[in-house]
Structure 1
């Protein structure tokens, strides 16, 4: 697969910006009075956010919470969502915050889940909330039956996605694509399909303005201990303990141990397998990369792209694919983006 470099500066503009009531029976074109547009997407189970400022109030128009917002940048459908916050300033400007449909996944509910996979749970939530949706990946491993009592839909999905990743190494996410919520896969340990993989390269002479790089072991564990509590016939508590550890990691970082409670329905072999799975998940140095770059229309949270930065090659990080976990686009004459990326 060839890596295509993008070095040209694109002069783009707002080509469509409409605010209206929820069914758009009333609408206002605010292209000429909107400024400071900032669009943020984030993989951490949060809604896409659009912040913008209106420079003046048109006669007969003032935005209201709950109004719909439709925004196109350079004729591309960029954001569709609803206003959740308005601030009217003394200079007659209006600061507005709108969120995409993912905002409604903060709603709470109680659901009794049968045995099923993460995709089935996603589809169930989307149907329950009458949310337009699409599946861009599959998830086949079954999760045990459980009760989600008074939890947000985000929390329900997070639980299902994290359990699936622990068992399979596949990482899933949800995103809003101009009003349609999509189920996507952003990481895999095999050759399975990844939903948003691109050939875009950000680096020296290719979009990048600057970068920061850091690493941390604050959340690394190289000893995982699982403990199951059961009762014997005399009602005494019996503890079963299974441990998984990495000696090489302990020699490098010292012993970093985590203890978790195992499901009391698991047998000894299943507990050991679970400990091994958690060790693979926890025994990783966390590497963070933040890029400031010229705007590119395909980059958003969940996108995989390439980095090629000489200063990083000097410390052993060559050209490689990375995952955008949070992206903020600042739309102006000088369209830029800030990207938080994970290096696998």
Structure 2
């Protein structure tokens, strides 16, 4: 059973569970805060005359004693009908501000902790990402983009795949290997529909150039790597990016090899509609079985949307092969 509370942050906490006919909770693995969209019935006989909801209020959602969402109201919409539409986000929403940071010889974990402390955000478990990033200079960049870049560099150089998430009000950093679920989704198990997509349109590259600038000499040096076979098949898909400061040639060549391994392939994604299970969220690592597609392996959840309506709980998953 759902429990939905609104804390007006003035000493009043309202249990509005009976006033919410529909609720959608969404998580994304990269670049976005978790969100909560819900409808509240106004003018209900169960509603106190002093009930109100305002931007900045805290919303807490639990189901069967499981923590689901802890976040803050960012949008309230009303009209002539008896409904209030509310949109809330978790703490990661506060990482969309721009700022300046310069880091040297620190891990992604340390970057997350530094940014969280500077901006007064609560942290939970931050696993040690271990790889020390030689340098990062980020001027007027979104805080979340800075963190995502640090995690990308960690993946490229060490193979460690980590995810930033808000764990019921605390920023946490997890290794995706530790987020495996212990049940199967697919044929005869939760799933009632699916779709599959193979694409080279988003994050596929077969010609990669890393460049480094010598400002004193006014020279730009290119370090290229390409795959002629996939260029002949797909056309030239170029990724052109600057080398991190203080990287030597061996490190640049290693990065080229890692990038080519990660990027020079079709990006395969599967969408699944299933009966809802709150153990699944963006960043979860789930085993999927779909015999028609010959699929019997783990997928990483890129996006997850849980929808609650009346007595129904369903979820839609966007999955990526890793």
Question: What is the CA–CA distance in structure 1 between the aligned matches of 2:188 and 2:61, rounded to whole Å?
Answer: 30
Structure 1: runs of 5 or more not aligned: 1-12, 187-193
Q: Which residue of 2 aligns with 1:162?
A: 152
Query: Does 1:230 pair with 2:221?
Result: no
- Is the contact made by 1:136 and 1:185 (CA closer than 8 Å) also made in structure 2? no
Query: Does 1:21 pair with 2:2?
Result: no
Quick one: structure 1 residues 20 and 231, their matched pair in 2 at CA, closer, same or farther if it must change by over 3 Å? closer
User: Secondary structure at 1:199's aligned position in 2?
Assistant: coil
> Shift of the alpha carbon at 1:339?
0.4
Q: Which residue of 1 aligns with 2:315?
A: 337
Structure 2: runs of 5 or more not aligned: none
Tell me the number of residue pairs that the alignment of Structure 1 and Structure 2 aligns.
Answer: 316
Quick one: structure 1 residues 136 and 259, their matched pair in 2 at CA, closer, same or farther if it must change by over 3 Å? closer
> Shift of the alpha carbon at 1:247?
4.2
Q: Which residue of 2 aligns with 1:9?
A: none
User: Secondary structure at 1:198's aligned position in 2?
Assistant: coil
* TM-score between the two structures when normalised by the length of structure 2: 0.91
> Shift of the alpha carbon at 1:91?
1.3
> Shift of the alpha carbon at 1:92?
2.4
* TM-score between the two structures when normalised by the length of structure 1: 0.85
- Is the contact made by 2:134 and 2:247 (CA closer than 8 Å) also made in structure 1? no
Question: What is the CA–CA distance in structure 2 between the aligned matches of 1:286 and 1:98, rounded to whole Å?
Answer: 31
User: Secondary structure at 2:205's aligned position in 1?
Assistant: coil
- The structure 1 segments of at least 4 consecutive aligned residues displaced by more than 4 Å after TM superposition are none
**Residue correspondence of structure 1 range 1-344 to structure 2 within 5 A:** 13-14=1-2, 16-22=3-9, 25-57=11-43, 58=47, 59-135=49-125, 137-186=127-176, 194-218=177-201, 219-230=203-214, 235=217, 237-250=218-231, 252-263=233-244, 265-313=246-294, 318-332=295-309, 333-344=311-322
Question: For each residue in 1:196-226, what CA deviation from the matched residue of structure 2 results, as whole angstroms up to 9, or x when unmatched?
Answer: 1112211111000100001011232222223
- Is the contact made by 1:39 and 1:49 (CA closer than 8 Å) also made in structure 2? yes
Please report the RMSD computed on the Cα atoms of aligned residues, expressed in angstroms: 2.0
> Shift of the alpha carbon at 1:264?
6.4
> Shift of the alpha carbon at 1:41?
0.6
Q: Which residue of 2 aligns with 1:4?
A: none
- Is the contact made by 1:230 and 1:264 (CA closer than 8 Å) also made in structure 2? no
> Shift of the alpha carbon at 1:343?
1.4
Question: What is the CA–CA distance in structure 2 between the aligned matches of 1:74 and 1:224, rounded to whole Å?
Answer: 49
> Shift of the alpha carbon at 1:19?
0.9
Question: What is the CA–CA distance in structure 2 between the aligned matches of 1:137 and 1:266, rounded to whole Å?
Answer: 25
> Shift of the alpha carbon at 1:78?
1.0
User: Secondary structure at 1:148's aligned position in 2?
Assistant: strand
> Shift of the alpha carbon at 1:239?
4.2
